[in-house]
């Protein structure tokens, strides 16, 4: 028998904890080791319970989730914290703060207990995230893959590091005309580290971060505030401007179209790609159609392999690609998929990616 992923539930509603417990009980590879009603109880129990993943509510009496995060990390730095937040502007704002404090990822919680009880999408996504954030040495048997076809997603696979960098002889040596960034789990923290190095660029920056609507609006605002660069959530018909960053809005694929000498954003309501919407691949494909090898691709931490196909297309044209290394990634899924495909110009620790891109752009 494989070791199970140990989960702690922290929510002030006993009804919500019970409903989430019933969802998780359907997955044989997950074990609930603690279920508590506030952050103080979680802090008191976290060392003894030793969870791999903490599903943490935000608003609770005695101690809320935001206050609890640094205390939980101090007592159990190995545990991954999954914020469970409502889809509201306030919820998104607080969740982004939680991510900057060290939470790993977030999931949107239905606003009612009946929504949680009947929400198959919530159940599937919750299990998928927990299985991804759990220890990499935990495997799941075929029998456990029963919740949905999406639980068989390569998001739960950990790439084996056997990559090699492609020859610099094949790289485009000129200045790029566009930077395209992909990220998912752990992405907000990574973006806040990398993007300050893009200040003063005279080319546009496009970003797909896997997040729901409202959350991407707040993310764009935080990027502008924390990274000191102009940043917008992408909107239909928005013209790309040099030095400005654009974040794909949750629930849409952000693509580009060319009109004469100008490039504009177009939003697609097409089906998810790689289980994601927004997805990196549609953004990159449209960028490559316009800019060709003059796109500089940046792949940051995230689960799954979204972006692998389009980044491969960019590599075939000679475009430069940098991926975050395994040691500094929260989940080495997306960057690992790119690195292990042997198409990267560089695979670097997070703190070296911004300077590397800056040198590529400014010389």
Choosing from 85, 184, 279, 286, the catalytic residue is 184
Structure token digits, residue 80: 């991954």
**Angstrom distances, CA of residue 101 to CA of 18, 83, 90:** 27, 12, 17
Structure token digits, residue 261: 């000498």
**For the chain, what's the residue count?**
363
CB 232 within 8 A of CB 241: no
Decide: helix, strand or coil at residue 320: coil
Is 306 considered catalytic here? yes
Choosing from 64, 105, 306, 325, the catalytic residue is 306
- Cα separation, 236 vs 256, in Å, equals 10
Residue 286 DSSP label: H
- Cα separation, 216 vs 196, in Å, equals 18
Structure token digits, residue 157: 């696979």
- Cα separation, 300 vs 332, in Å, equals 9
Longest CA–CA separation in the chain, Å:
63
Choosing from 23, 197, 210, 253, the catalytic residue is 210
CB atoms within 10 A of CB 150: 14
- Cα separation, 18 vs 32, in Å, equals 11
Catalytic residues: 184, 210, 306
């Amino acid at each position: 028998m494989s070791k199970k992923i140990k989960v702690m539930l922290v929510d002030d509603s006993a009804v919500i904890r019970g409903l989430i417990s019933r969802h998780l009980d359907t997955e044989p590879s997950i074990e609930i080791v603690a279920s508590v009603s506030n952050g103080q109880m979680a802090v008191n129990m976290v060392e003894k319970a030793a969870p791999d993943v903490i599903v943490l509510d935000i608003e609770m009496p005695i101690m809320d989730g935001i206050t609890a995060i640094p205390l939980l990390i101090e007592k159990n730095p190995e545990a991954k914290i999954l914020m469970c937040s409502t889809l509201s502007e306030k919820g998104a704002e607080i969740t982004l703060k939680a991510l900057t404090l060290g939470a790993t990822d977030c999931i949107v919680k239905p606003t009612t207990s009946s929504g949680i009880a009947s929400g198959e999408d919530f159940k599937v996504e919750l299990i998928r995230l927990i299985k991804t954030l759990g220890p990499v040495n935990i495997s799941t048997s075929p029998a456990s893959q029963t919740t949905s076809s999406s639980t068989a997603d390569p998001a739960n696979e950990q790439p084996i590091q056997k990559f090699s960098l492609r020859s610099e002889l094949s790289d485009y040596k000129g200045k790029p005309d566009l930077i395209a960034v992909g990220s998912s789990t752990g992405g907000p923290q990574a973006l806040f580290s990398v993007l300050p190095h893009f200040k003063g660029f005279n080319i546009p920056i496009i970003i797909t971060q896997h997040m729901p609507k409202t959350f991407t609006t707040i993310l764009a605002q935080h990027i502008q505030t924390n990274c000191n660069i102009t940043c917008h959530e992408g909107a239909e018909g928005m013209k790309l401007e040099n030095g400005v960053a654009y974040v794909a809005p949750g629930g849409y694929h952000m693509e580009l179209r060319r009109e004469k000498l100008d490039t504009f954003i177009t939003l697609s309501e097409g089906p998810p790609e790689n289980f994601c919407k927004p997805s990196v691949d549609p953004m990159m494909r449209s960028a490559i159609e316009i800019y060709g090898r003059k796109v500089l691709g940046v792949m940051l931490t995230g689960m799954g392999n979204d972006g692998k196909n389009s980044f491969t297309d960019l590599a075939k044209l000679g475009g430069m690609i940098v991926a975050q290394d395994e040691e500094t990634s929260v989940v080495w899924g997306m960057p690992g998929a790119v690195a292990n495909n042997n198409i990267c110009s560089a695979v670097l620790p997070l703190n070296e990616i911004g300077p590397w891109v800056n040198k590529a752009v400014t010389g």
